[in-house]
Amino acid sequence: MSLLSFIDKLDDQCIRYVIILLLWADYIWETYLSIRQFGVAKSTVQIPHQLKDVMKNDEYEKARNYSIAKLKFGFVKQFHSIIINTVVIHQGILAEIWRFTEGINPFMDEVSTSCIWLVLLQLMTTLLDLPFTIYYNFVLEEAFGFNKQTAGFFVWDKIKQFLVLQIITTMVASIVIVVVKNGGDFFFIYLWAIVGVLTLVLLTIYPAVIAPLFDKYNRLAEGELKSDIEALAASLKFPLTDLYVVEGSKRSSHSNAYFYGLFKSKRIVLFDTLLAKDDGSGCDNDEILAVLSHELGHWSRNHNIKNLVIGQVNLFLLFTVFGVTFKYPKLYTALGFYRSKPVLVGLFVVLQYVMMPYNTVLSFLMTVLSRKFEFEADDFAVQQNKGVALERSLLKLNKDNSGFPVHDWLYSVWHFLILLYYSVLKL
């Protein structure tokens, strides 16, 4: 029996309950894993003997309390989310907002109605999440010394994020609707190709055009570090064109480093929080080079290209399923859309609900692949004789970010794949 045949035997209310059941199943599973991890964090009061040489008592206690605080926050936020999603599905709120949008839209065409509907949904989501975002940054992160945002910076940052998101999503949504409406029976092929091109364009312009709207980027000053990074890039034939430092310290004290760019034009970005400070935080030059050796390992092993190819294959599969199912009436009526079958609503239902079990499995498999890539990048750094410095840098970054080093085995397998990966290696 095909999926559509099965759906055809169900009434609207039953389909609605199936969607809610899938949402709650995912929520219960993730909450169960978090409860297990919460128990480990609460009970592991003493530093495990394996870590006594790499963490001090106060560092361990801060990391443990930080982990407990984030888990508690997650319990409340996820419960809030599942209740909101349940109410939205059960009460047909998506359809109510659509009918309201039709009433206020003077143009009465599907493209403009869909764009207004999307903006209203994102506005509602932003407002519902805002109290949690404020609490996380100005209470939880502040308590552990990580938040560096002022209230004014936070407000302006959120306004910019919302405006940029609306420009991008409404543009993409408009293109999707036009392609679906005019692409014929094989519209999903054209849709996949166009969205693939848009993805590459956004990946190209985001670091150079969009990211600077939110953070200040400065070229790395001349000196030993810059010379060493350029020498490392040259030795690996990495086509480095620019070195930047981003002022991440205005937002948070967490650290990071990455590279971006296509073909023969690559740029490396260091967070200013990664650089060594007088208070002992950050990394020394050799440790920064080790971190960059790890990142360049991803480039050398073509991990970004592999992820891009996998993403495009997955996108084609999702659009193919959408092409088969999006005209099916019950996918709309189950959510309260009785008079119309908007393309954007159909895409949302298929990608968010119909494909939910597939998305969960895919997420797990991508975590497996991500772990494999991370270990390969570590191995690449070791091959560049950066293993000892990489170990020191990872320990420092874990300390600076208050990473809790003890995990429940099942939580670890699902989220990090550490136990599973090493089990495979031993075989």
pLDDT digits over 26-53, tens only?
Answer: 999 999 999 999 999 999 888 888 777 7
Ligand-binding site membership of 96 (annotated): no
User: Are residues 354 and 331 in contact, defined by beta-carbon separation less than 8 angstroms?
Assistant: yes
Ligand-binding site membership of 294 (annotated): yes
Tell me the percentage of the chain whose pLDDT exceeds 90.
38
Confidence at residue 2, expressed as pLDDT on a 0 to 100 scale: 59
Confidence at residue 12, expressed as pLDDT on a 0 to 100 scale: 78
Residue with more model confidence, 11 or 182: 182
> Once rounded to an integer, what is the mean pLDDT over residues 335-342?
88
- How far apart are the C-alpha atoms of 293 and 288, rounded to whole Å? 9
Kindly indicate the confidence band of residue 199, based on its pLDDT and cuts at 50, 70 and 90.
Answer: confident
Confidence at residue 135, expressed as pLDDT on a 0 to 100 scale: 96
Ligand-binding site membership of 80 (annotated): no
- How far apart are the C-alpha atoms of 2 and 287, rounded to whole Å? 55
Confidence at residue 220, expressed as pLDDT on a 0 to 100 scale: 84
Confidence at residue 100, expressed as pLDDT on a 0 to 100 scale: 94
Kindly indicate the confidence band of residue 376, based on its pLDDT and cuts at 50, 70 and 90.
Answer: very high
- How far apart are the C-alpha atoms of 21 and 30, rounded to whole Å? 14
| Catalytic residue list | 295, 378
425 has a pLDDT exceeding 50: no
Model-level pTM?
Answer: 0.85
Domains of the chain: 217-249+253-282 (3.30.2010.10)
* Residues whose CB is less than 8 angstroms from the CB of residue 112 and which lie 6 or more positions away in sequence, other chains included: 105
Confidence at residue 204, expressed as pLDDT on a 0 to 100 scale: 80
User: Are residues 270 and 257 in contact, defined by beta-carbon separation less than 8 angstroms?
Assistant: yes
